[in-house]
Amino acid sequence: MKWVKPSPDRFKCNVDASFSQALNRVNIGVSIRDDEGRFVLAKTEWMTPLIDVDLGEALGLLSAMYWVRDLQLGIVDFEHDSKTVVDSFYGSKSGISNFSAVINDCRRLLASDLVTSDVRFIQRQANEVAHSFARVA
């Protein structure tokens, strides 16, 4: 599996999280590239304390979505290597957990401010740039 550039006139935003028990934190890495595959912007951040993997991955997506909205880039497709997050994003289940609340925030943001954007699952091998940013966050 390798990264594939977005369709013409679109950007691609790859998101990943890494988890450090030694540092007691979650690291987020985000990378944006244009329709030619050229690097546009990247962002890293971290949060503490260490949290559940699914929640950390979902918070990474939410953070990336807010960032992209604020940048006003236009049409951006989000790619994430957490199948749980992407399946939950498009699933019909709703719950009262922190994870469900974050997924619902992502859905609302896409429906209100990022209506032409999309969220897709990709294999980890195709998400190496975002993963590298997350590891060094």
Superfamily of domain 11-136: Ribonuclease H-like superfamily/Ribonuclease H (3.30.420.10)
The dihedral built from the CA positions of residue 96, 94, 14 and 111, taken in this order, carries a sign that is negative
Token look-up 């691609």 returns 12
Q: Give residue-wise pLDDT tens across range 41-62.
A: 999 999 999 999 999 999 999 9
Quote the pLDDT of residue 25.
94
- The pLDDT score that the predictor gives to residue 107 is 95
Residue whose entry in the numeric block shows the structure tokens 């019909």: 92
Q: What is the pLDDT of residues 69-101, one digit of tens each?
A: 999 998 999 999 999 999 999 997 777 899 999
**Per-residue pLDDT at 137:** 63
As a whole number of angstroms, the distance between CA 106 and CA 68 comes to 12
Q: Where are the domains of the chain?
A: 11-136
